[in-house]
Structure 1
Amino acid sequence: MTHDQLLTAPETAFPTLRGAVAGLPSYVPGRRSAGLDIAALASNESHYEPLPAAAAAVTEAAGTMNRYPDSAAVELRERLARHLGVTVGEVAVGPGSVGVLQQIITGLCDAGDEVIFAWRSFEAYPILVELAGARPVRIPLDDAEGHNLGAMAAAVTDRTKVILLCTPNNPTGVPISHERIEVFLRSVRSDILVVIDEAYVEYAEAGSGPDSLSLYRQYPNVCILRTFSKAYGLAGLRVGYAVSAPAVAEGLRRTALPFSVSALAQKAAIASLDAGEAMESRVAAVKQERARMAAQLEAQGWKLQPSQGNFLWIRADDSLRARLVDAFDRADILVRGYQGDGVRITVADSASNDRVLRILETHAA
């Protein structure tokens, strides 16, 4: 029988995907730039070139790319431990914070277990949960575009294994205060892992969100999740990390794909930590632009929640969302539209931000 006949034979059985995979929505990344004049503001990447120290570290490490990286990422974990004031055994790394989150869910959830998170929040949350065969429990945001922690606590059941708190929240930019998280932690079982996802923590104003390390030291069921993709500008290298109780961290390392964080990524992350002042200078510039844009947009008539990320969020129904995305597309500006919810716009350089302001001025209420 030929290959074509085999494909059309009615009695032939073929491999099938798991039901959880077949019905899984694909993660939709921010659209990519295809020209010099296009402002790529859809993915919350740093608009800066890599930190010079990180670029130099990658250049040096490139000479060993024929060798496998350290699968345990010991040097990076040691550097992170010193940076955070924890032990090496409390640190796990992975390919971006989303990779570490997959390790968390894989390590803690069996089929039918539940993971609670706010919605709308990071789009990968329900995908990773369903991929593990667990059940995603979406809790609507409150009227201020933030986490409804009371409703999240009320949603806990005997099957709840993980709760995800995204602060500042992606895509709305709203943080969760330290006090609110502390009250929440007192209200949930200690055998539930509470993940404080801080992908954008470097962009947050001091005191706007939690002191997550303090909460972790007080509540052993807290896990801190962070990334080098945003403020440190290493989105293309894929390296993130978690801080958690040693037994949990060990489980996260066991569930990681071997060699998932390249040697180049590990060296660049270490160099980026050592170049903290340069990173903080860049972050300060983004925060200044964020405040400038927010003030001008509010003067135009837009109603915004104060964002603590490197992006702004505009709540919009689908009609307005479609008009805005179309207007940005025609102006060669890539933004992120969320069906039924709104538009997220990354804060970049002042020239790109001015282009954004001009578009929004023509659509203001």
Structure 2
Amino acid sequence: MNLYERVGLQSHGLHAQAGDVTYELMSAEVESLCSHLSKFSRLIQRFERSVDIAGIPGMPHESESACFHGGAFWEVIGDTFETLERRESIISADVLDAWFEPAPAVVQALERCLSFALKTSPPTAGEGMRHVIARARGVSKNSILTGAGSSNLIFTALRGWVTPSSRVLILDPMYDEYAHVLEQVIGARVDRLRLSRTHGYQIDRQQLRDSFSRGYDWVILVNPNSPTGRHLPRHQLEHLMAEAPKATRFWIDETYVDYVSEEQSLEVHAATSSNVVVVKSMSKAYALSGVRAAYLCASPGLVRETLRWSPPWAVSLPGQIAACKAFASLDYYRARWRETAILRGELQAGLEAQGWDVVPGCANFLLCHLPRSAPDAEESVAKVRARGLFIRDVTSMGTGLGKRAVRIAVKDRGTNQQVLDILSSALGLG
């Protein structure tokens, strides 16, 4: 009995006897079970690694070796790039690439020196890129570390700072690369702060504040969050971090913050703090997904520490050129971010008119729960894919999302209308 109670089951006081065996009726809410089981995540992982569970119905023979990402549209286009023209026949709203083009200065710079950029080794540690980013963000170059996309920095920095004995708090739901790295790669002790659909997946500040008493080594936040699109304002987050124990470090992923406002970034705060790290991908807000450019902002001491185990030439020469030219074109991007807010609002209105429950986000995507008349997320994704539309089933990105949650990237106005038309016809929402 004690074993079952420890994982959250509660007795109803009803018993049945079969021979020498006594059965007792027990039950629990799914959210309660997940909360209790998260305390035993490391034990469960050790069990999975040491026990051969092949042949047991419903159990995987081996665990996934990598985190699942979107990009299913490459199955249609072809990942050997011999039929790239097929890209014109699909809408890739399952990944969060920018709907707009890179700044003209970015494209022109690469066109002028493409052959040189392809055959030439880049600056070893992205020194010029670090300088350009630091100048644009008002911090020291020594507070910037570059990487080949935010995932590169997640794997590099967190694997250096987090150990199997570390206690880490993450959001649920949240970009699942973090859970993968922390639990499957590092084996850290991970707890989840569950975000409720009832409250619009907003972070409960009091709940977060209360969690600090558990003595976490790291608190990992994506802000604005993915897949929810919800944002915790900078001043509120600064106040919360000030209340945390000095030994607790914060990792803030600000990949989407520019869609809210550049002023909402914590980069300047991180550059002068001993316990705050900001990571920013340049893929989503700067239309540079293909060149894999990102950076981390932290105190010079933390950056020096991370440089010791960071690989040289992390960002390609085309990536470094593109990043530098992008930061020289901020007016262009600011205009695109403002347009994105308008397009997002139009897409949300169109979805709600079809009966979707849309979470009011602030990035370049929307988290949506399917109308009751539609199939579940898995089936709906398959139905619209057959018509050339790719959207993301995000039910696995959190324990409380249910089976009807999808994420849809914001596109240009014409493409957004195509998205709405396909959803309506394929799912019978007209």
TM bucket normalised to smaller: 0.7 to 0.9
On the 8 A contact 1:58/1:265 being kept in 2, the answer is no
2:410 is matched with which residue?
347
Deviation at 1:206, TM superposition (A): 7.3
Instruction: Give the letter for the 1:346 counterpart.
Output: A
1:151 lines up with 2:207 in the alignment? yes
SS at match of 1:50: coil
**Counterpart pick for 1:52 among 104, 119, 122:** 104
Partner of 1:12: none
- Alignment counterpart, residue 126 of structure 2, candidates 60, 68, 73: 73
Matches within 5 A, 1:1-365: 23-30=63-70, 31-33=72-74, 34=77, 35=86, 36-59=88-111, 60=113, 62-130=115-183, 131-142=185-196, 143-156=199-212, 160-204=216-260, 210-213=264-267, 215-216=269-270, 219-316=273-370, 320-339=376-395, 341=401, 342-361=405-424
> What fraction of aligned residue pairs are identical, expressed as a percent?
24
The 3 A distance-change label for structure 1 pair 167 and 160 is same
Shift of 1:272: 0.8
List alignment gaps of at least 5 residues for structure 2: 1-47, 51-61, 78-85
Q: How far did residue 102 of structure 1 move?
A: 2.0
What SS does the corresponding residue of 1:80 show, helix, strand or coil?
A: helix
- What is the aligned-residue RMSD (CA, Å)? 2.7
Distance 1:86 1:214 in 2: 6
Q: Which runs of 5+ in 1 are unaligned?
A: 1-17
Shift of 1:168: 1.0
Matches of 1:121 and 1:288, distance apart in 2: 25
The one-letter amino acid of 1:200's match is Y
The 1:218–1:87 alpha-carbon spacing in structure 2 relative to 1, beyond 3 Å, is: closer
1:51 is displaced (CA, Å) by: 2.6
Instruction: Considering Cα pairs closer than 8 Å and 6+ residues apart, tell me whether 1 or 2 has the greater RCO.
Output: 1
Q: Which amino acid is 1:331 matched to? A: R
Larger Cα Rg: Structure 1 or Structure 2? Answer: 2
Say which SS state the counterpart of residue 236 (structure 1) adopts. Answer: helix
**Aligned-partner residue type, residue 348 of structure 1:** K
Q: 1:239 & 1:189 partners in 2: Cα distance?
A: 33
Corresponding pairs, count: 345
* Amino acid corresponding to residue 307 of structure 1 in structure 2: G
> 1:183-217: CA deviations, max 9, x gaps?
3212212222212211111212577xx44245436
Distance in 2 between residues matched to 1:113 and 1:331, nearest whole Å: 46
Q: CA deviation at 1:346?
A: 0.4
Residue aligned with 1:226, SS: strand
Distance 1:93 1:215, change over 3 A: same
Work out the CA distance in 1 between the residues paired with 2:429 and 2:229. 20
Q: Counterparts of 1:205 and 1:83 in 2: how far apart (Å)? A: 14
Q: Is the 8 A contact 2:167 2:218 kept in 1?
A: yes
The alignment partner of 1:160 has SS state of: coil
Partner of 1:255, secondary structure, is coil
